[in-house]
Amino acid sequence: MMIEFQAPEYRADTTFRTARYRFEGSLEKGWSIQRNGASHLELGPGYRLLKTASCGVCATDLVRHFLPFPLPQITGHEVIAIDESGDRYAVEINASHQARGLDSDCAYCNAGLSTHCPDRLVLGIHDLPGGFGAFLLAPRNALVRIPDVIPSSTAVLIEPLAAALHAVQTMAPQAGDRIAVLGPRRLGMLVLASLNAYRRQHKLDYHILALSRHDSLLAMAKQFGADTTLNVRQNTERFQQPIAEIVVDTTGSPAGLELALRLAAREVHLKSTHGQPAAGTLNLTEFVVDELRLAPLKSLDVTRRDIPPRIAWLAKTSPPTEFQKSAQLLRGNASELLQAFEAMEMEGIQRADIAVVENAMQLDAAIRPVPGRQVSLVRPRGEILLVSDLARHDSPLLEACLHRDLVLSSSRCGDFRVALELLQDDEVLRGVGEKLITHHSSNADMEAVFALAKSAECIKAVVQIGE
């Protein structure tokens, strides 16, 4: 099978330029991708060729040049794709061994962490050509058929909606909580809608707040499930101390995280992947990519764990005696410890379950120990725990964690099938697309599309794809 088409590529200087692509191959044998007549990428088996119908513009797309993956690339990952029979599919974005239907000894895929598979490509983000082109190659098991009851306006949002639902499940809100969503816009509105749907589904009584600098967005937030709205530009003295148990930061802004840290009493849940330093640390985008959790050391009781955890101890402070008795504990710097774990013969993922740090430099090192390698010392969905070194820190994040026992959690991709099941059962949630999408465009001028998507007048832009 062979297809040729032209597509807009996103470049490191944030401009777009059209390139000629040729996909040639098959599901069984793999694919050769040519770009402008030259060999560009070789893919193994497990990919299906589909035609792209539409693709949403995500905040990650708008800051793609900050992310540590090669450019230029056909970007876009919030996709509706159509097969040869005309059926609509949502495409899960991580091309792992499991997603491609390959037999593999991959510890990540076998541990139910296929979205963290170290060999994966990521649709429209890491190498794999994305949804702003007329055709794409999708991992066979990543295709989720969209039921007829779900309108295309909502179907194109399944990727961010699944991520929003995963955030809510990760936070696990409790009855009586106050949960604030900071910066509701594209993803934030879907977090509000997911919190509201989760509340209906589980019959929980908690209060949802929306926090924004824009009255128009606050009015919109009410439609998505917010019980209370607050303008953070007004009464600024009110926003110097906690106002909610949990604050979800969807701002895509380093300043947004610092505000979230002030406003949360128990937990900040980070959804922003803007690729920039934030709250005195460098690698929080990678923190979110790996779905890590930061908490005070005193929150850990190793004696109550059925399986002794693997602990990488970076701090100079001596570990408690019970850790040395009830855990597999290694001490050293982050790069040495990563090398030690990777050299071990062990079942499962060759990483620590927990890293213990005492300053921002060690925190950044635990997240990315080796420059140029997108590998954490801690396994995906693991923990980094903070022990006090009795010093004040320049990092607002570390200060909040140490002195207020605040937890920073994070999440990334969600389960499309869970999102689709909820959409089929929840008529209110099925209407989010009509409420959220404000602009439809073609992919003929992507620079204009991105300028529109960044503008105050646009909430959510969707690109209709033409050949």
Q: What six digits make up the tokens of 435?
A: 């409420």
What is the average pLDDT score of the chain?
Answer: 93
Question: Which residue reads 């899960």 in tokens?
Answer: 92
Specify the amino acid at residue 292: L
| pLDDT (average), residues 156-172 | 95
**Model confidence at 390, in pLDDT bands (50, 70, 90)?**
low
Which domains does the chain show, CATH number per domain? 2-145+431-464 (3.90.180.10), 158-269 (3.40.50.720), 274-284+294-407 (3.40.50)
**39-54 pLDDT, tens per residue?**
999 999 999 999 999 9
- Structure-block tokens of residue 334: 């982050």
pLDDT beyond 80 at 274: no
Q: What is the pLDDT of residue 204?
A: 96
Residue in 182, 202, 352 with CA at minimum distance from that of residue 269:
182
Instruction: Evaluate if residue 164 carries a pLDDT over 90.
Output: yes
Contact assessment for residue 165 and residue 271, using Cβ atoms and an 8 Å cutoff: no
Give the pairing of strands 310-313 and 352-357. Answer: parallel
The residues, any chain, with a CB within 8 Å of residue 31's CB and separated by 6 or more, are 23, 24, 25, 42, 43, 47, 49, 137
360-367 helix and 334-343 helix, angle to the nearest 10 degrees: 30
Dihedral Cα 198, 203, 206, 211, nearest 10 deg: 30
pLDDT of 435 strictly over 60: yes
Confidence of residue 208 (pLDDT cuts 50, 70, 90): very high
pLDDT of residue 282: 87
Strands 178-182 and 244-249: parallel
Contact 31, 48 (CB under 8 A): no
- If you average pLDDT over residues 217-237, what whole number do you get? 92
Q: At what angle do helices 396-404 and 254-263 cross, to 10 degrees?
A: 20
**Mean pLDDT, to the nearest integer, of 26-35?**
97
59 phi/psi in degrees, rounded to 5: -60, -35
From the centroid of its chain, how far is CA 144?
A: 19
Tens-place pLDDT, residues 321-370: 877 777 889 999 999 999 999 998 878 899 999 999 999 999 999 999 99
pLDDT value at position 321?
Answer: 81
**The dihedral of CA 424, 429, 434, 440: what is its sign?**
negative
CA–CA separation, 78 vs 158, rounded Å? 7
The mean pLDDT of 418-437, rounded to a whole number, is 93
Q: What is the pLDDT of residues 229-251, one digit of tens each?
A: 999 988 777 788 999 999 999 99
CA distance 18 to 16: 7
* % of the chain with per-residue pLDDT over 90: 82
The pLDDT of 48-62, averaged and rounded, is 94
